[in-house]
Amino acid sequence: MSIDQQLQWEKRWRTPAVIAALLGGILPMVGVIVRLLLAPDQPLNKAGQLLYIDDHGLALMLSVVILGIGALAVGGTLYYLWVATKARKPEFPPASKWGVVGGSVLVCLGQIILYALLIFKSSTYVSDGVFGYSAASQAQGDAPVVVASTAQLVGQLGMGFGVVMICLSAMRIGLLTRFMGVLGVISGVLLVIPLGGPLPIVQTFWLIALGFLLLGRWPTPVPAWESGLAQPWPGRQQQMEAQVAARGASGSAPPAGGLLGGLFGARAKPALGSGDPPTGAPVALGDGEGGASNGISSPTSTNKRKRKKHR
């Protein structure tokens, strides 16, 4: 695929990718909030969990459906970013693509099937009337429940791996700024290890910001998206060299006084005027007491200075 064809493909699918990014950022937050509001205070013991699921089955299913759609949206956005990265970096391996695409499908289907099974098991557990740890463990340990739970976990690992790898490569070729790349890596880690509470605040912010970046709204412009080529963002040293070169081209000198001088300003030395003598030159004394003219030092004043030194 040529560069022009790649740019046309990106333009054609940019709007769906932006919508997917926004949905991927908003829906997981909505799903968690729905669960916290409609089905709070989940118990930790297995028997209590089955009773809890039986009481809040509809709210839990609504929550996991919203979360599943959000996972699919994240996978769609990351696939778009992977294709753009692969076009500018042909050696980029496809493992991360399958991680985000396959992982998002596994997360979506895995958690929906898991909670559908748990709702059915909890209803049977309550209707049988045999309450206890043994019966609850048997209900939650059935093979279909374990398979669905394992599929969800594998999907989360795949999505986390894919997000980290895609963000690192996209940052290195200039599709993501350094801030967005690092934040994307953190979001990928949080998909696997959800630190900081149940609300996906970091992931939501990153995906919404990614949507604005794909639109070209922030930051503008992004050269790699416009040219179809890898154009890494300049590092700190390169930015400083560019600033020095720009100052040299404009004829302005860097601020004196080093770092502190640049921050707080340095006192400039006054320029030598037409009437100021150069440093080290004898001072001409005018016509007056003990003075002589024409720039010649007075012998009397010289003797006085010598007597002061001897004292």
Q: Which of these ranges, 57-71, 172-186, 243-257, has the smallest mean pLDDT?
A: 243-257
DSSP letter (8 states) at residue 275: T
Query: Residue 278 CB: number of other CB atoms within 10 A?
Result: 6
Is the per-residue pLDDT at 243 higher than 70? Answer: yes
pLDDT at 239: 67
Is the per-residue pLDDT at 269 higher than 50? Answer: no
pLDDT tens for each residue of 68-82: 999 999 999 999 999
Is the per-residue pLDDT at 282 higher than 60? Answer: no
Mean pLDDT highest for which of 159-163, 222-226, 286-290? 159-163
Specify the residue for token string 């560019």. 242
pLDDT at 132: 78
* Rounded (5°) CA angle 26-66-12: 60
How deeply is 206 buried, as exposed, middle or buried, from its count of CB atoms within 10 A (0-12, 13-18, 19+)? buried
d(Cα 288, Cα 300) in Å, to the nearest integer?
13
HSE-CB at 169 with a 13 A cutoff on CA atoms is: 24
Q: Where are the domains of the chain?
A: 3-227
Residue 251: what residue type? G
pLDDT, mean of residues 216-245: 80
pLDDT at 251: 59
DSSP letter (8 states) at residue 273: -
What values do phi and psi take at 261, rounded to 5? -65, -35
Residue of 272 and 175 predicted with greater confidence:
175
pLDDT at 288: 43
d(Cα 236, Cα 45) in Å, to the nearest integer?
52
pLDDT tens for each residue of 47-70: 888 999 999 999 999 999 999 999
Share of the chain above pLDDT 70, in %: 78
Residue of 1 and 68 predicted with greater confidence:
68
Cα 247 to Cα 241, 251, 256, 259, 296: the distances in Å are: 10, 6, 14, 16, 46
Note the Cα 262 to chain centre separation in Å.
30
What values do phi and psi take at 65, rounded to 5? -65, -45
Is the per-residue pLDDT at 294 higher than 70? Answer: no
Residues 6+ apart with CB under 8 A from 80: 10, 13, 14, 16, 17, 20, 214
Is the per-residue pLDDT at 38 higher than 60? Answer: yes
Consecutive H or E run containing 91:
none
Specify the residue for token string 């985000």. 100
pLDDT at 274: 42
d(Cα 200, Cα 222) in Å, to the nearest integer?
27
Q: What global pTM score does this model have? A: 0.75
